[in-house]
Amino acid sequence: MLEKNAKIFICGHRGMVGSACVRKFEKEGYTNILKRTHAELDLRNQLGVKKFFDAEQPDYVILAGAKVGGIMANKTHCAEFLLENLEIQNNVIMQSYLHGVKKFCFLGSSCIYPCRAPQPIKEEYLLSGPLEPTNEGYALAKIAGYKLCLYLSKQYGWHTVSLMPCNLYGTNDNYDPENSHVFPAFVRRFVTAARENKPEEVLWGTGTPLREFLHVDDVANAVYYFMQTHNEPEVINIGYGSDITIRELAEQIAAAAGFKGAIQWDASKPDGMYRKLMDSSRAHALGWKPEISLDEGIAKTVAEYRGHLGGMRR
């Protein structure tokens, strides 16, 4: 169990996953949470990260900070996604180890698995085949981060936990038109289209790929649970347990947003990996399961985004 007065450094506390972890730990009574914005601490800067650890001496670290983006961002800027994530991970992981952090949580992504992996994807499928080309740089970085944690654990007995969530959505998601993932992109587009009474909305791809979506609060619950209970360094999948086609997702979000127009698909644009369904049976066997249904999560996210737009207009 983590001590209630422990110093917990949550990297990326303003991001979707980091902020969810902050909310969860604060809800559970942890008040000594270390937070640094990018302006205060650039995690890519090795000396800056070292000075932070020298000064603060955190007891526990959760690495939720990363350079992230959608298909086009990943495809266009492979070098930056590989290099910047490697820099962030190497700096934070090694300074955590060197400064005696009691336990470290590494957060990755389902994209670490081969693009043609059998479905549902088991942890042992890692590195069994080629990666999805559209996000290979990001995936390689996350694999390297997990492996570094694993090696430090096995060689030196350092306590690490590595969690690989499926596609995430929810509070504090990124709704940027150029860099957002599919779920927030659909929320933004359909809420806007409904407000403007658009007759149709054109979406990328064919709508046939299958994706698994998990609310970010469920990931924060998993981080909290495994930081409290688990001391094995091998990767653990954190998924919702079932998937949905991109077309069905669009239709459900459109309905929740009140969009009445037609949905068209531009098949000239990339679909990405056809299917990514995680096998989360290991996490379930260890005692964690998701609590937020997709219908509930869609309704909550659409309402939050509407509230965000309302706040911007005031």
Q: Which residues are catalytic?
A: 138
Distance CA 134, CA 126 (A): 18
Cα separation values, 278 from 117, 213, 245, 305, Å: 10, 10, 15, 27
Instruction: Sort 281 into a burial class: Cβ within 10 Å, 0-12 / 13-18 / 19+.
Output: middle
Cβ pair 275, 245 in contact under 8 A: no
Residue 189 phi, psi (nearest 5): -70, -40
Query: The tokens of 61 are what?
Result: 């670290």
Cβ pair 233, 154 in contact under 8 A: yes
Helix, strand, coil percent content, the chain, rounded in steps of 5: 45, 15, 40
Distance CA 128, CA 133 (A): 15
Which residues is 160 bridged to in the sheet? 104
Of residues 249, 239, 243, the one with CA closest to residue 218:
239
